[in-house]
Amino acid sequence: MSATTLVARPSLGRRSGTLLRRLTANRVTGCALVVVALLVLMAVLAPLIAPYSPTTVDLTHRLEGLSGAHPLGTDEVGRDILSRLIYGARISIGVSVLVVAAAALVGMVLGALAGYFRGWTDHVIMRAVDVILSFPSLILAIALAAALGPSLANAALAIAIVKVPVYARLAYGETLRVRQQLYVRAARTYGIGSGWIIRKHVLPNIRSSIIVQTTLDLGDVILLIATLGFLGLGAQPPSPEWGSMISTGWHYLIDQWWYPTFTGLAIFVTVMSFNLLGDGVSDLLEPTSRD
């Protein structure tokens, strides 16, 4: 038995613990991680911790201020704002994670194929990417969502289409670097298939850059979902989506300030926490990016 086989690899739990310690070593990143964890936990446990149903109408208590029964007040039809914010976290965080994951997966595969095969594959994929990237992301997302029709699913699809080119461009550049490495050239020399090389060599070596980009994109996607909801192109009433809540609540800002204010604070805290956590992950996985 060779000496290399006697070296035990660190367990998954040990690696996760080390990563967690390195993340929390920075106080700002550590605080952001705690807030994100609490938000995710709140979204998961929404049916257990929300004091009321987010869609139950109670006109006898419409537009009530802060009280023991309704800590964050009620909206124009008497629905508890705290309950709607808790359930709204499910929509904003859950949909953003799905959108970013789908965009990252599709973009990584397309970018890897274009960067590895070059030629006409490169031209077709990357020219399509350039066309999409030539439009401002928000304007393109609004146009796609409007064309598809107002719904949360269509808004998520529109945002995913906008985000795919970002990951494709990143994966393309990383693949061009990886395909020149000695182990890739050796694999091609020995006649190993392109599919095997892409799966075993290219994708694993561009993964860290993709992960960094996903952590940085989560906050942006949450904001895009809220923007489309505010414009009436996302989740439709009575769904407790944060953007649609602000779209209605801003009309009551002067007299019933709690209605839009707490919803806006929820978006601000969530987006800021994900952005700070993304910066921390970026510094951890790609420390040279700080220079």
pLDDT in tens, 183-231: 788 877 777 877 888 888 888 888 888 988 998 899 999 999 999 999 9
**Please, where are the H alpha helices in the chain?**
12-24, 27-44, 46-49, 81-117, 119-133, 137-148, 152-178, 182-189, 194-197, 203-230, 242-249, 258-285
pLDDT beyond 60 at 2:
no
Residue 271's closest CA among 236, 227, 235?
Answer: 227
Euclidean distance between CA atoms 161 and 168, whole angstroms: 11
- pTM recorded for the entire structure: 0.85
Domains identified in the chain and CATH numbers? 29-290 (1.10.3720.10)
Query: Phi and psi dihedrals of 21, rounded to 5?
Result: -65, -40
pLDDT score for 14: 56
Rounded-to-integer distance, Cα 111 and Cα 121, Å? 10
For residue 18, what pLDDT band results from cuts at 50, 70 and 90? low
